Structure 1
Amino acid sequence: MPLHTGTVRPHWTHTDHEDDMPSKVIIIDYGSQVTQLIARRVREAGVYSEIHSCVTTAEQVAAMKPQAVILSGGPASVGEADAPALDPGFLELGVPVLGICYGMQLLAQNLGGKLAQSLTREYGPADLNLTAPCALWEGITSPSRVWMSHGDKVMVPPSGFAVTASTSTLEVAAMADESRKIYAVQFHPEVHHSVDGERMLHNFLFKVVGIKPDWTMSSFVERVVKEMAEQVGDKHVVCALSGGIDSTVVAVLLHRAIGRRLHCIFVDNGLLRLGEGDEVVSYLREHFDLNLNFVQAQERFLSKLKGVEDPEKKRKIIGHTFIEIFDEEAKKLSEVDFLAQGTLYPDVIESVSHKGPSAVIKSHHNVGGLPDTMKLKLIEPLRELFKDEVRKVAAELGMPDSIVWRHPFPGPGLAIRVLGEVTEERLAILRQADKIVQQELRESGWYRKVWQGFAVLLPLKTVGVMGDGRTYEHVIALRVVDSVDAMTADWARLPAELIERMSGRIINEVKGVNRVVYDVSSKPPSTIEWE
C-alpha cells in the first residue's frame, strides 16, 4: 500500500521551542534486546531520553543538543567485519559518555585498548568488586550483584582509563576516564537483575552529567498541547477512537489544544467487550464535550467474518473493513487536514532496525504514513511515550482509573479470542465469561497487579456432567500475564482460590460452557494472545 509522507516530526525535536525543551540523553542502539530498558530507566529518573540507530552520525546527534550519550549493548563482536561501528565524533561532543557492554568494547577498540574473544559467552549474575573510586559507585557497597551478557572482553583499557571494577572471571569489568567523563561497564545496569544498576545510572545522570530531572508528565502535557495548537492552527483533525487508553488520551489532548475542531470517530465493530463501546462514548461525551460520531457497524463486520477461521484472514478483514468505514466517515468532514493516531515509542523503535532501514524486522501500520487516498497529515502526540507514560498522562488529565488502568485490548477485538469462526452466539458466550474474569480480577485486587487478563473461547467441546445429565459443551481458557511492555510476558501466579472462583462462576453462569483451563505459557515462546 503506498504511503503518505506527511508525517509530523517528533515534537521534542522541534526547534521553535528550544527554551522549553527538557534535558535530553541520546541512546545509541547497537542491537541489544534491552536497549529500551535503558531509555525507560533514564525516563524513570525524570530525564528525557531518545533511542537512535547506530547509523546515526555524531553530527546528527550534535544537532539534538543532548546533555549525555549512552552506547548500548549489542549481539555483534567488535572483531567482525560487518559489526556496528562507533562514530568517533560521539567522543568529541563535549558531553559525558557511558558505554554499556558492546558500547564498552567499542570505546576500548576506538581509543587504543586491547580486546579478546571469550572462549564461552558469559551470561547471568556476577559479583562486581569495586576496585577503584568512581563517580558511578557512589553509595554502592562492594561486591554488587550485576547481570552479564557478553562474548568479548576488554583485556587492557585505553590510555587514560582506570580499571574501576572486576569480577572473578573478568579483570576489566568497568573502566573510566574521569577527566574526559567517559565511563564504561561490561554488565547491564539497566536490567533489574543488576541490584545497584538504578543507582549507577542515577550517579551517571546526576553526579557526572549534572542533568536536571525535568521530564514530567505535567510538563509533557503542557508542551504537547501548545505544540499541537500551533501545528494545527485553524485547521481540523479527525481521530479514530478504539476505546483503548492510547486513542482516548490522544483525543483528550487534542481537545485541550483545538476544542471542537477535533472530530472523533468511534466504530463499534461488534467485537468489543460487554458494554465497552457505550461506556467509553458516554464518558467522553459527558466529560469532554467531544465531536463524537458513534458508528454502529456490527452487522457489516460480522457478515464479512462469516465462515472465516484463519486468524490472519480475520485480522485482515477487520483491518480493511475498519479503514473502509473510517474513510467513508472522514470524507464527510471536508474541512479536515490532519489525522491523529496513538502511535507509541516502541512502535517507532521496532520499525527502525539498529542496522538501518534495510534491515527492519517489524513494521507497524501506524508508523510512517497513511494510504494516499486519504491525503491527510499525521499528528502523533504520543509518538515518544512508552505505555506506562501514557497511563501517567491519562492520570494527569484527570481520567478515571477505569480508563487509566484498563487492560490492553487487541485491535481485532474478540475476533482473535474466539478461536475459529466468529458468530453472534460464540461472541455472547465469550463476553459473559470475560465479564466474570474482569469482575473477579477487580474485586480481588489483582486487576492492577497484572498486565492483562482475559478469557478465550476454544474451538472444541468436551464431555461434562451437570446434575444427573451428560453435557457436551464449550471450553474457556483463562489467560492472565505479568509484563512491563508486552514485549515479554510471564503467566500470572494467581491464587488458586481465585482461579477456582473464576472457573466455578463461568461454568455455572455462562450457558454452554462446562470446562475452564488456565494458560501457563510465557512469551516467548508463546504470545499473549492465542491468535
Structure 2
Amino acid sequence: MEKIVVLDFGGQYSHLIAKRARYLGYYSEIALPSISKNDPKMKDVAGVVLSGGPSSVYDKDIPEFNSDILNLDVPILGLCYGHQLLSKEYRGVVRRAAVGEFGVVELTNVAESPLFDGVTFPTQVWTSNNDEVTELPPGFEIIGSTKNCRIAAIQNLEKKRFGIQFHAEVRDTLEGDKILGNFIKFCGMKKNWDTAKIKEIILEDIKRDAGDKKALLFLSGGVDSTVAFALLNAALGKDRVLGLHIDNGFMRMNESAAIDERYKKFGFTNYIIEDASEEFLKAVKNITDPQEKRKRVGETYINVRNRVVDRLKLPFDDWLLAQGTLYPDIIESGGTKHSKTIKTHHNRVDGIQKLIDAGLVIEPLKDLYKDEVRAVGRALGLSEELVGRHPFPGPGLSINVLCSDGVIKEVELYEKTNKFLKELNIASISKEIKDIYAIPIKSVGVHGDIRTYAYPAALDMGEFYKKAIDWDEIEKISFFITNKVKEVNRTILKIYEKQGLSLIEGYCDKKRLDMTRIADEIVLSALKKYGWYNKIFQHLTINLPYATKRDNCSVVLRPVVSEDVMTAKFARLDQKLLSAIVDELRKIDFIDAVYYDATNKPPATFGWE
C-alpha cells in the first residue's frame, strides 16, 4: 500500500503529522530518522516528511539521520526542525533566531508554490522555534515569510524538496490540512485510508496482544479509560476484562459516586471500586516537586493494583495491566526515542514501564489523540455523557494543587523575572494594564518541544471582567510577554487579590484538596448553567499556596479549548459567565485571590504541574 512516511525527530507533534495524513485519506506511518531507504517500511513510499524536534541542528547530540534518504526520488517536506535539517543538508545555514517565534503568526506568500495551491494569504500559521534558516541552500527559493522569519518556507521543485518553519499539522495553522494535502497531491498519491477502520484495527490489535490473557484496567472514569474499557469488552468479552476504579482521594466532588452511576446506567458491570485515598495522600505528603508527586501517584497505582490482585486471588501471569494511555502522554513523558520529558505522566512511571518492558501492559489507545478517542467511543455506541466529559487524568486534583515549603526557590531568578517584566514597555501594548509582576510559584510549560519550569507573569487590568472583554487584546498581550521574556511561560490576569499575599507553606493534603473541590464545583456548575461546559475542552481549577495565611489559597481559572491536547488556546469565557463565577468565589473565605490563565499551549501546558 502506498504511504507517507514521517521521520520522527522527537517533536511533540510528529504523530499528529501522520494522523492528519490519515484524516485526509492517505495511509501514513512513523519511522526513525536513521532508517535505511531500503528498509521494508520504506517500500511503496510516496513521500517523506521530516518532523519537528527538540534539538538544534548545530548541537552535537542530535538524532541520527540517514542522509541517504535524500537520495530517494520522492518528494520530501521538512517541518520546523525538519525544515532546518533539510536546509543544512543541502548546504544552507541555520542559526539561533534573533527573535524566536512561539504560537500564532502570520505567513505571507513570496513566490508561487504547489504547496500553497488554494491557500489565501496572509494566512495564520503556528510555530515554535528558537532557530531559523538564515541562508538559503543553493537551488532553493523562498516561498513564504513571517514578521520575524524571512526564510519561513522554501522549495526546490527540481529536487521535489520543500521546507516550512511552521507546523502545518496543528489546527492553529488554519490552512494546514490544505498545505499537507497539497504536498501529498504533489507526491501523486491517491486516497487509500478510511478513518472508520481505526476501531476495527484496534479490536484486532487487542485480540493479538492479549492472546489468552485477561485484562485488568485502571478505570479513572474519564473519556480515555472508559473508551479503552469498552474496546477491551468488545474484543475480549466481559469475562476476560475487569475494570478497577481507584478512589485516590484526588477526585472532584462526589466524582466516584457519579462514575459508578454513569457506568451502571450504560450497562457496565465488570468493574470494582477501591477506596485508596489514605494511601495516596500518604504517598504525596509534604512533596513539593511536581515530577516527584506524579511519580509517587503512578507508583501508588501499581501498589494498589497489586494489592487488589492478591486480594481477589487473580493469577498474576494470567492478567495484563490495561491503561487508557494516549499518545500525548507518551510524548510528554519523553517516551519516544528523541522526545524530551515535559512532565512525567502517572502511566509512565518506572513501575509501569517495567511492566511494559515485560510485555504485561496493553494500551489500546496509545497511538491516538483525544479527538480520535471520542470518535472511537461514539462508534462503539458510548453515550455522549461518557465520551463528552471534560478530561480528568488519573492523578486528578493532586496535580492542580501546587505545593510549597513556603520558601521561594531560585530567588535570584524570581527577582530577575520581576525586573524584566517591569522593564517591558507594556504601556505600548495596552493602556489597560495597571501593573505587571511575577507570582512566586513556578509552573510547567513547553517551549520548542522542551520542558520549561518558570514563574508566571500576572497582569493587573483592573476589573476587566465587569465589562465587554477584549480577548483579542489579551491574547496579543500574553503572546508579547511570553515571547519577550524567556523566563516566563505563562500569563495570568488578576481578577482580585487581598492585601498581604505571600508564598505560604502548603501541600497536597485533604484540606487543600477540599478547598480545590469547592472552588472547582462552583466553576463547573456555572459552566453547565450558562451552556458553556460543552463549548470548552476542559477546565482546571488551580490551587496556589499564595495567600494571606496558611489555611488560605489563591485560585487560578484555567479553561482551555483544544482538539488534540498537543496544542490549545485559553478559552474566552462570556463576560456574564465569568462575572457569575467571580461573584461566587468571592463568597469563599479561604480564597484570597483569583486569577485567569490567559496562555495558549505552548508556551504553557494545560495544567500547572
Do residues 398 (structure 1) and 381 (structure 2) align?
yes
Greater mean deviation of Cα atoms: 274-283 or 382-391:
274-283
Match of 2:584 among 498, 502, 505: 505
Shift of 1:244: 1.7
Which amino acid is the alignment partner of residue 519 of structure 1? Y
User: Cα gap change, 1:437/1:66 in structure 2, threshold over 3 Å: closer, same or farther?
Assistant: farther
Q: Which residue of 2 aligns with 1:381?
A: 364
Instruction: Give 1:61 deviation, angstroms.
Output: 6.6
Give the drift of 1:256. 0.1
SS of 1:436's partner is: helix
Task: Check the 8 A contact 1:138/1:203 in 2, yes or no.
Answer: yes
Change (3 A) 1:277 1:214: same
C-alpha separation in 1, matches of 2:341 and 2:515: 40
| 2:434 alignment partner in structure 1 | none
For 1:495, the equivalent position in structure 2 comes to 574
The equivalent position to 2:234 in structure 1, one of 256, 259, 264, is 256
Equivalences for residues 56-75 of structure 1 within 5 A: 56-60=35-39, 62=41, 66-73=45-52
Q: Is residue 87–residue 93 contact of structure 2 (8 Å, CA) maintained in 1? A: no
Unaligned runs of 5+ in 2: 403-505
- Displacement of 1:345 in angstroms is 1.6
The structure-2 alpha-carbon separation of the partners of 1:418 and 1:81, relative to structure 1 and needing over 3 Å to count, comes to closer
- CA gap 1:67/1:360 in 2 versus in 1, 3 angstroms: farther
Amino acid at match of 1:135: P
Say which of 347, 371, 375 aligns to 1:366.
Answer: 347
Letter in 1 for 2:322: A
Residue 130 of structure 1 deviates from its aligned partner by 2.6
Residues 75 and 153 (structure 1 numbering): CA distance in 2 closer, same or farther, change over 3 Å? farther
Please say if 1:276 is aligned against 2:255.
yes
CA distance in 2, matches of 1:206, 1:26: 15
**2:559 maps to amino acid:** V
**Is the Cα–Cα contact under 8 Å of residues 143 and 154 in structure 2 kept in the other structure?**
yes
**Partner residue in 2 for 1:477:** 555
Match of 2:325 in 1: 343
For the structure 1 residues 249 and 201, does the alpha-carbon distance in structure 2 shift closer, same or farther, using more than 3 Å as the test? same
Question: Retained in 2: the 8 A contact 1:71–1:97?
Answer: yes
1:16 maps to which residue? none
Contact 1:164/1:176, CA 8 A, preserved across alignment: no
| TM-score of the pair, normalised by structure 1 | 0.76
Report the residue type matching 1:210 in the other structure. Answer: M
Letter in 2 for 1:384: D
- CA gap of 1:341–1:54, structure 2 versus 1, over 3 A, is same
Deviation at 1:219, TM superposition (A): 1.3
How far, CA to CA, are the matches of 1:275 and 1:147 in structure 2? 39
Do the aligned partners of 2:369 and 2:565 also contact (CA within 8 Å) in 1? no
Residue 207 and residue 299 in structure 1: after superposition, are their counterparts in 2 closer, same or farther (change >3 A)? same
TM superposition shift of 1:24: 4.1
Q: Find the counterpart in structure 2 of residue 455 from structure 1.
A: 541
TM-score (norm 2): 0.67
Evaluate the alpha carbon distance shift between residue 97 and residue 325 of structure 1 in structure 2; reply closer, same or farther with a 3 A threshold: same
Choose which of 221, 242, 247 in structure 1 pairs with 2:220.
242
2:397–2:513 contact (8 Å) kept in structure 1: yes
Inter-partner Cα distance in structure 2 for 1:120 and 1:300: 49
- Cα distance change, pair 221–130 in 1 and its aligned pair in 2 (3 A): same
The separation in 2 between residues aligned to 1:266 and 1:354, in whole angstroms, is 28
- The size of the alignment, in residue pairs, is 488
Cα distance, 1:253 vs. partner? 0.2
Following superposition, the deviation at residue 405 of structure 1 comes to 2.8
Conserved in 1, the CA contact under 8 Å of 2:107 and 2:121? no
Q: Residue 507 and residue 473 in structure 1: after superposition, are their counterparts in 2 closer, same or farther (change >3 A)?
A: farther
AA of the residue aligned to 1:253 = L
Q: How far apart, CA to CA, are the structure 2 residues paired with 1:108 and 1:373?
A: 38
The answer to whether the 8 Å contact 1:70/1:98 transfers is yes
Compare CA radii of gyration and give the structure with the larger one.
1
Counterpart for residue 437 of structure 1: 523
**1:202-351 matches, cutoff 5 A:** 202-212=181-191, 214-216=193-195, 218-260=196-238, 261-302=240-281, 304=282, 308=286, 310=288, 312=290, 315=294, 317-331=296-310, 332-334=313-315, 336-350=318-332
**Is the Cα–Cα contact under 8 Å of residues 452 and 481 in structure 1 kept in the other structure?**
yes
**Matched residue, 2:458:** none
Q: Name the SS for the 1:448 alignment partner.
A: helix
Q: Cα 1:47–1:480, aligned 2, differ >3 Å: closer, same or farther?
A: farther
Structure 1 position 379, deviation (Å)? 1.3
2:69 corresponds in structure 1 to 90
Amino acid corresponding to residue 320 of structure 2 in structure 1: F
Moved more, 87-96 or 169-178: 169-178
List alignment gaps of at least 5 residues for structure 1: 1-20, 464-471
Is the Cα contact below 8 Å between 1:221 and 1:393 reproduced in 2?
yes
Distance 1:342 1:355, change over 3 A: closer
CA distance in 2 between partners of 1:125 and 1:374 (Å) = 44
Distance in 1 between residues matched to 2:56 and 2:356, nearest whole Å: 46
